[in-house]
Amino acid sequence: MTATAILNDESFMRQAINEAKYAYEKDEVPIGAVVVCQNRIIARAHNLTETLNDVTAHAEMQAITAAANVLGGKYLIDCTLYVTVEPCPMCAGALGWSQITRIVYGAADHKKGYSMISPKSLHPKTTIVSGVLEKECAQLMQDFFKSKRDRRPF
Amino acid sequence: MTATAILNDESFMRQAINEAKYAYEKDEVPIGAVVVCQNRIIARAHNLTETLNDVTAHAEMQAITAAANVLGGKYLIDCTLYVTVEPCPMCAGALGWSQITRIVYGAADHKKGYSMISPKSLHPKTTIVSGVLEKECAQLMQDFFKSKRDRRPF
């Protein structure tokens, strides 16, 4: 990758991190995502599973739906999804159906990430980049779960 | 399974087939689903990916969201999902998050079904029953794709 591409990836991942912070403020698992098409953000989303009482309301799922709405078509060709944490099997399945061109994620999820559970869910042509601003993305998750543990009564 | 349980499974699968027929009428891949809790249907849905321009609009995904809405909680404990075709990895991932108690499906999907691609996506406690009214469920799919092929100009 060129220096400009790396700079762009970090810049867009910062926007995904901002989304993750919105989730954190709502006491949601802090994961955020943006979809970029032609160097422009066309969708932003953050995890809302608690707020909406809906296990399907992951950041990626909402971002996919919103991006398709903007594009007027269900395939996310020439789009990149930036997401702070490695997608789960559900989101990887949805990304597979969308035929998205590129996925950039920050922190790996060694327990529930798609690469451990369902590595074949993505479209074979989709490019994956991992580890972009990994430390910041992971730190948000660690802080969130630590604060949850600290709040337990016993 | 007892005779009554089989009868119930077939009865509820007929309702899922009815949903699949609604999808067919809309020129959507004919897959339907219902969610049953305490022997009562609490959610009905059919595939709407074309109508909504949204790859996430599978019957199962909509049924999960609708059922959680009825229950007022995101976990589908003591619920059964009836779906005419084996769930894909996306839907299996969502069903895994929902911790649904039981899944009953009709026809297997040997190309894109979760059991081929992501067999570990479901919750380990979820019970799976397959092959209920399999022939009817599969026939709808075959008829749909045959009609699509027949309509091709060359």
* pLDDT over threshold 90, residue A136: yes
Grade residue A4 by pLDDT with cuts at 50, 70 and 90.
Answer: low
Cα separation, A85 vs A80, whole angstroms: 15
Q: How far is B66 from chain A (nearest CA, A)?
A: 9
* pLDDT over threshold 70, residue B116: yes
The one-letter code for the residue type at A96 is G
Cα separation, A75 vs B141, whole angstroms: 22
Q: Which of A10, A60, A86, A134 is catalytic?
A: A60
Examine residue B4 and state whether it is found in any structural domain, yes or no.
no
Q: Which residues of B are annotated as a binding site for Zn(2+)?
A: 58, 88, 91
pLDDT of residue B138: 98
CATH number at residue A24: 3.40.140.10
Number of domains chain A is built from: 1
Examine residue A150 and state whether it is found in any structural domain, yes or no.
no
The 10s digit of each residue's pLDDT in A14-30 is: 999 999 999 999 999 99
* pLDDT over threshold 80, residue A56: yes
Cα separation, B14 vs B20, whole angstroms: 10
Examine residue B2 and state whether it is found in any structural domain, yes or no.
no
Among the partner-chain residues B74, B88, B96, the one whose CB lies closest to the CB of A54 is: B74
Cβ–Cβ gap B61/A65 under 8 Å? no
The 10s digit of each residue's pLDDT in B14-29 is: 999 999 999 999 999 9
- Locate the DSSP E strands across chain B: 32-37, 40-46, 79-85, 102-107, 127-130
Cβ–Cβ gap B90/A93 under 8 Å? yes
Examine residue B83 and state whether it is found in any structural domain, yes or no.
yes
pLDDT of residue A49: 97
Examine residue A148 and state whether it is found in any structural domain, yes or no.
no
Shortest CA distance from A113: residue in chain B: B121
* pLDDT over threshold 80, residue A3: no
Q: Which domain holds residue A115?
A: 9-140
Strands B127-130 and B102-107: parallel
The 10s digit of each residue's pLDDT in B27-65 is: 999 999 999 999 999 999 999 999 999 999 999 999 999
Average pLDDT rounded to a whole number, residues A38-49? 97
Examine residue A147 and state whether it is found in any structural domain, yes or no.
no
* % of chain A surpassing 90 pLDDT: 91
Examine residue B25 and state whether it is found in any structural domain, yes or no.
yes
* pLDDT over threshold 90, residue A106: yes
Q: Are A10 and A35 in contact (CB under 8 A)?
A: no
Question: What is each CA distance from B104 to A17, A96, B59, B80, in whole angstroms?
Answer: 39, 24, 14, 7
Read off φ and ψ for residue A134, nearest 5 degrees. -50, -45
Residues 6+ apart with CB under 8 A from B21: B30, B32, B140
Q: Are A103 and A127 in contact (CB under 8 A)?
A: yes
pLDDT of residue B151: 77
Share the mean pLDDT of chain A: 94
Q: In a mutagenesis test of the B interface, which of A52, A53, A56, A62 is the best target, namely the one with the most B β-carbons within 10 Å?
A: A56
DSSP 3-state assignment of A63? helix
Q: Is the ipTM of this complex over 0.90?
A: yes
* pLDDT over threshold 70, residue B7: no
Examine residue B154 and state whether it is found in any structural domain, yes or no.
no
